[in-house]
Structure 1
Amino acid sequence: MAMTDEELFLASMGDVVPLAQDKKAELRRQQNEPTLAQLARREAAEQEQDFDPNFLSTEYVDLLDPHDLLSYKKDGVQQGVFKNLRLGKYQIDATLDLHGKPFREARKSLFNFITDCHQRSIRVLLIRHGIGLKSKPFPAILKSYCNKWLQEMPQILAFHSALSCHGGNGATYVLLKKSEEKKVENRERHAKR
């Protein structure tokens, strides 16, 4: 005589013993706890946030028109020095191209580039950010943030939109402070006179 599906099931499950209540709770708890790998990733991410030296703002920015000129000068920068920067008369020692880079990557690249150039005693930079006519959801987002970020960095003395031969309103000349090493070198050189 053939057994029904229910009888087959009961026959095959006849020696199964239900788990004790405390074992069920233990299994449920283990399933909801993060694994060691997840805990390690979480800890690494928290440490990265805590020790991120990049202080450039990701907060609200006043949006600029894509064709606006960028111009900034700290107090104490001589007008003649700023004029020469504005007119592109200084030799450009390093260039950074941010065209098409995602926001976070552009922020990180700009911070690392400025920091590295200052440490290497590089004084005049060209940053190509583009004018952002096609950027979504608003035009000139990267240009607007570059304007804000450059003003936040203590290494920067002045910046101005570039001449058309260097990228026009889509690029910016940047003048950095002298590194401590260069300041000492200048003092020694002028003291010998």
Structure 2
Amino acid sequence: MTDDDDFFLQEMQGIKKIKQVKKANLSQPHKTTEAQKLRQQAATQEQASADPNHLQHYEVERVQPHNELGYRCHGIQDNVFRRLRQGKNPIDARLDLHRMTIEKAREVVFSFINDCVKYDLRTVLILPGKGDRNIEDPALLKSYLIHWLPQLSDVLAYHTAQPKDGGAGAFYVLLRNQNKKRLTDY
């Protein structure tokens, strides 16, 4: 034996073996408790009832009824935005929001944009109205719409429509092209 072995044996004197307690048998299937079943059921229901519509429905900053408004996300070329602003793109679909509540308009806009993208529509016209007749709360739908559109990842740009298409009460909306054509195909 070496000095290290002797030292080890000397240090280990008086040490008692630890009694082994019963181990869990992991090979048997675990029985789900009632509490776990309830938590799982609640989580499943919560997930199923979650609203996929992420558009904000709280108070937004208001715009004036006759304001000309526009938006474009990063990367949209000047000539593409110019054609949209001038109303030169063919309009593939229209959505009229007149006389809708904010909550109904929120649902309809979300669904409409998703359907348009699904069917590969490129330019659509959305008509919230100017809201200039509502003295107490002017341009209500218009204000919400311009806040909702940038929240949708498939909306690349929007601009107030030309007078022939509704003027200050309508918006041209340019949508993402699903079949990956270039934006300059117009």
Structure 2-normalised TM-score?
0.70
| Divergent runs of 4+, >6 A | none
Q: Deviations over 1:31-56 (max 9, x none)?
A: xxxxxxxxxxxx9xx85984211100
Q: Distance in 2 between matches of 1:93 and 1:69?
A: 22
Establish whether residue 54 from structure 1 lines up as the match of residue 48 from structure 2.
no
Deviation per CA, 1:162-182, whole angstroms, max 9, x where unpaired? 000000000000000111xx1
Q: Tell me: CA distance 1:137–1:157, structure 2 relative to 1, closer, same or farther (3 Å).
A: same
| Number of equivalent positions | 139
For residues 176 and 126 of structure 2, what CA distance do their matches in structure 1 show?
Answer: 16
Query: Structure 1: which 5+ runs fail to align?
Result: 1-42, 188-193
Residue identity in the other structure for 2:59: Y
Query: In 2 relative to 1, CA 51–63 (structure 1 residues): closer, same or farther, beyond 3 Å?
Result: same
**Preserved contact between residue 68 and residue 160 of structure 2 (Cα < 8 Å):** yes
Three-state SS of the structure 2 residue aligned to 1:127 is strand
Structure 1 position 97 matched with structure 2 position 131:
no
Matches of 2:131 and 2:48 in 1, distance apart?
A: 29
Distance 1:48 1:64, change over 3 A: farther
Cα distance change, pair 121–138 in 1 and its aligned pair in 2 (3 A): same
Asked if the contact 2:62/2:139 (under 8 Å) is kept, the reply is: yes
Residue 70 (structure 1) shift: 1.6
Structure 1 91/71 Cα, relative in aligned 2: closer, same or farther at 3 Å? Answer: same
- Structure with higher helix content: 1
Partner residue in 2 for 1:128: 127
- Structure 1 residue 136: Cα displacement: 6.2
Residues 1:77 and 2:59 are matched in the alignment? no
Write the distance in 2 (CA, Å) between the matches of 1:155 and 1:128.
18
**SS in structure 1 of the partner of residue 133 of structure 2:** coil
Contact kept, 8 Å, 2:64 with 2:139, in 1: the verdict is yes
Aligned to 1:63: 62
| C-alpha distance in 2 between matches for 1:135 and 1:51 | 33
CA RMSD of aligned residues (A): 1.9
**CA shift digits 1:11-31 (9 cap, x unpaired):** xxxxxxxxxxxxxxxxxxxxx
After TM superposition, the score normalised by the length of structure 1 is 0.68
Q: Please say if residues 57 and 102 of structure 2, whose CA atoms lie closer than 8 Å, have aligned partners that are also in contact.
A: no
